[in-house]
Homo-oligomer: A and B are copies of this chain.
Amino acid sequence: MTAASGKGPTRIRLGFVGGGRGALIGPVHRTAARLDDRFEVVGAVLSSNAEKSVADAAALGIPKGYGSLGQMIRAGGLDAVAIATPNDSHAALAIEALDAGLHVVCDKPLANTAPDGRRIAEKVAETGLVFCLTHNYSGYPMIRQMRAMIEAGRIGKVHLVQASYRQGTLATAIETGDIPARLRWRLDPAKGGGSHVMGDIGSHVHQLIRYTTGLGIDSVMAELGAIVPGRQAHDTGQALLRFANGGRGQMLATKVAHGAENALAIEVHGDRGGLEWRQSRLDELTFLRNGEPQQILTRGSPYLEPLARQACRLPPGHPEGFHEGFGNLYRDFAEQVAARLEGREADPLAATIPTAADGLDTLLFIDACIRSSETESWQRVET
């Protein structure tokens, strides 16, 4: 069922920056890169201390460790790098890699500020290199099915969207206690961005809306802030949305939903039908139409659109998960890079991975939300 089956594909020589031991998302990047045999991990920068980096790399089974990206680049032998460092460092690292002619996988959000994001996006455009922003939910087969069905007009003109991401991690004043370093930088506006909740999970909500519907968000009426008393970082962001096509919507990103377990959900309605999806049932997509039985579409099924089928690894009923979704982005990235290396056209189904331009879109959306929240007024989203 995989695009790669049946041939021995070019392996992309990849170096990691960040995501060492104790990191949150680093291990997921490494697993994602390993799922399909399309990467050869050749080195890693896991610490600014070169010696420690070497030791950590060895512990993770990575052949070489370096003290900086520059050092790793100079060592040569790389096709691409994967960046999983704190948000504020993405721009410098990504630009350094792109300038060195390397393709880039970068953890989301693209950057902490729109100007930084724009610098990356412009550098990507200038170099023409492949850039993948790991908004991993775009890799889920049923999210891809949603996109393909909407694109094919299965629900008609999209006129209503509701999307939310709820966590309970900040439901109480945890900052007053001892928290791990990997959380601490996220809550620090300097490193984690001006609106923690929007950068961390609101960005996923925005990207999911954009990925599935393809609609531009014209303007927003948002309220961001800390609901838990005494907190500096934003723990909740909510917004009303006006879409470019006249549709309406609302979004919620919160970390104060006590007991919620990464409860990401999206619901899109058009004038011919509706689609509902939530992460807790990731292998199912509900298709609703007035006066018709509800349909539950399932991952791995033969009736799925090619974009979704290409993202399925196992038959229906044998569940896939977060790793495979992440892995699908890595695989599509590998396909695009391999096509460059082999001088051929990439599989068009590998073309939907989030790019730096998408990441900039999200940062401009967050900017508009921040302005809206501060001015208590509707604000246009810049482009």
Contact = CB atoms under 8 A, between A and B. Distances in A.
Interface of A: 2, 5-8, 11, 21, 27-28, 31, 34-35, 37, 58-61, 155-156, 159-160, 162, 164, 167-169, 171-172, 221, 223, 225, 227-229, 236, 238-240, 242, 246-248, 250, 252, 254, 256-264, 267, 269-274, 279-280, 282-283, 287-298, 300-303, 313-324, 376-378
Contact of A274 (B229, B259, B283): B259
17 contacts: A6-B59, A31-B35, A34-B34, A160-B236, A171-B271, A172-B290, A223-B240, A229-B246, A238-B250, A250-B252, A257-B274, A259-B289, A279-B319, A287-B293, A291-B302, A291-B303, A319-B320
Given A160-B256, A317-B263, A376-B377, A61 B34 contact: no
A173 B288 CA distance: 18
Contact of A377 (B171, B248, B322, B377): B377
A290 B162 CA distance: 25
Nearest to A289: B259
A26 B8 CA distance: 16
Nearest to A1: B27
The residue among A2, A155, A236, A260 with the most chain B CB atoms within 10 A of its own CB is A260
- A-side interface mostly: loop
B321 A320 contact: yes
Given A252-B162, A287-B293, A294-B295, A258 B240 contact: no
A295 to B, nearest CB: 4
Contacts of A240: 221, 223, 238-240
A36 to B, nearest CB: 9
Contacts of A262: 315-318
Contact of A293 (B2, B169, B271, B298): B298
A287 B34 CA distance: 36
